[in-house]
Each structure stands twice: as structure tokens, then as C-alpha cells.
Amino acid sequence: MKHAYGSAPEEKAREQLKVLAYAKLNLVLRIVGKREDGYHLLQSLFCAVDLADEIQLEPLPRGIELWSSVELGPPEKNLAYRAAQTLLSQTDFGVRIVLKKRIPAGAGLGGGSADAAAVLAGLNTLYNLGKTPDELAKIGAKLGADVPFFLGRSPAWVEGIGDRVTPVDLALPAAFLLVIPAFSCPTAAVYQTLDRLGIPPSPPQGVPKIPPFVNDLWPASAHLRPELERIRSVLEGIPSLGVGMSGSGSSLFLAFPSVEEAEWARAELSGRVEAALHVARPVDRGYKIIG
């Protein structure tokens, strides 16, 4: 497979397709057990929000190219590249993927999984491959536990190791203020810290009401990155529907009943926390084909 990094080439393919890959928030995340193979069992309420990576898919006669920033690492390890490789492996099609990243890596927002889902859905449309949503979800699950969520409706109740996804009808806050520190919280390190702290699992429950925005990984993430405690203490002084952490961090969020209140909070927090601030709204699916 061919791959490349850098700016998108000037020549335009005759046909192309653009897809938005949306970020996700874990509005609730409970650790309810651990399998013998070491995987933790969870229950989590996932919500897609409109902070998005932009992906452009351009047909090629063969091979796969990934155009993005060098900081993302080797192309063959990128989930967007691997998604195209997996889906097109039994076809004669190729594709150039132009990836514009806006979802920070290592922030608990699911950017890599979102990119993979958007590529699967986009290529299915671009080449009229005829894959059903269930078939795409099965392919996505082989790439990452979170990928099937991004291919379906939001919000969703996610269980097991992230492989059981059930869309739910639930009233959501109108807006969130995402608070994204410059540092990351590697998922593996957070789970290892959770085990070392000896925190017992939560009892399994049904879909919860929100707020509160419970996250069983918070003690481990805050132990690993004490800066999170300082940021959260500032956030808790802002009037809101509640404070939460997405995934294993490092992103925190505040929930609001209106976009205007979220924008007010962003202005209020500007310069008070060392983090990027983004106002985001819930969306009803993990990706959107925009033409």
C-alpha cells in the first residue's frame, strides 16, 4: 500500500466525498468487572458531539494514501488508514484519505475510532459497496471497541468491553463546554493505575439519569495526572448542570441547558485554566456525510 504525509496535493480527483467524524463524550462510565484476559467490563453512556475531524475521500485506481500531519505517526497504524485497508482489501478500489484533525489525540474523545467509522461509512457510499450497518459495525469492532458506536445512533448505552451498543432515547443537555488540557491520559496507563489503587468495581445497573456525570476512572486519571484535580476545582465553581470526564481523560466537560450559557462559561474560564475550550452540541450520529 502506498502512503504519504504532508499537505493535500493540488490536483483534484474527479470525484470525492467529505465526511465529518464526530467526537464522543462518556456522560457516564462505570467499571463493572474484569475478564480473565485482563479486559475491563464497562457500562457507559456515549454521546456524539459536533467537534469533528474532517475526512476527504478521493478515488484512486489502486492503493491507499493518507495525507495528514506527521505527528499522527506511521500511516499503517492510523485507524483511518486501517479502516480503508480492511474494507477495500477484497476489492480493486484504492483511496486517498485527506485527514484534517480537530479532535485531540489522547483526550478521551474517541477521535481515532471516529475517523475509522467515518472512513468505513464514507467508502461504503463512495464505492456503493452495499454493506449493511451491521456489517460495517462488525468490521469496525475488529479495528477498535468504540468504532461501532460511531457508526450508529447517539446517544447509546455501551456495555461489555465496548462491543454491545444500544441506542437510547434520552434527554441530553443542549450544550457542553469541552475542557481539553495539553497533556494526554493514556488509556492503558489509567487502567493499570485503577488496578493498582484496588478500587472495587461498581454494581451493574441500567441506563442512568444524568446528571450526575459519574466516571469510575476519575480516581485513576487524577492520580496519574494531579493537574486534573486543579482544573476540576475551577470548573466546579462555574454554574452548570455538572462536571464530568470523558473516557480515561484528559478531557473534562461542563454541561449546560443552553448554548448561550456554555459560551458564557467559555468566556468566564478563558485564561483561568490551562486547556483548550470548545463549545459542542450533541449530534444524533457519530459521522455525517457532507458531500
Active site amino acids: 24, 146
Q: Residue ranges of the alpha helices (H) in the chain?
A: 79-88, 111-126, 133-143, 147-150, 187-197, 218-224, 227-235, 259-269
Q: What are the distances in angstroms from CA 48 to CA 136, 150, 281?
A: 18, 8, 8
Of the candidates 68, 78, 111, 69, which has an alpha carbon nearest to the alpha carbon of residue 250?
111
The answer to whether residues 22 and 286 touch, using CB atoms and an 8 Å cutoff, is yes
Cα distance between residue 21 and residue 80, in whole Å: 10
Spatial separation of the C-alpha atoms in residues 276 and 223, rounded to whole Å: 21
> Which of 151, 162, 208, 194 shows the shortest CA–CA distance to 27?
208
Cβ contact 7:30 at 8 Å: no
Q: What is the number of other CB atoms lying within 10 angstroms of the CB of residue 279?
A: 21
For the CA atoms of 99, 100, 104, 110, what is the dihedral angle to 10 degrees? -50
List CB contacts of 193: < 8 A, sequence separation 6 or more: 220, 221, 223, 224
Q: Which residues pair with 288 in a beta bridge?
A: 20
Please answer whether residues 105 and 112 qualify as being in contact, where contact means their C-beta atoms are separated by less than 8 angstroms. Answer: yes
3-state secondary structure of 138: helix
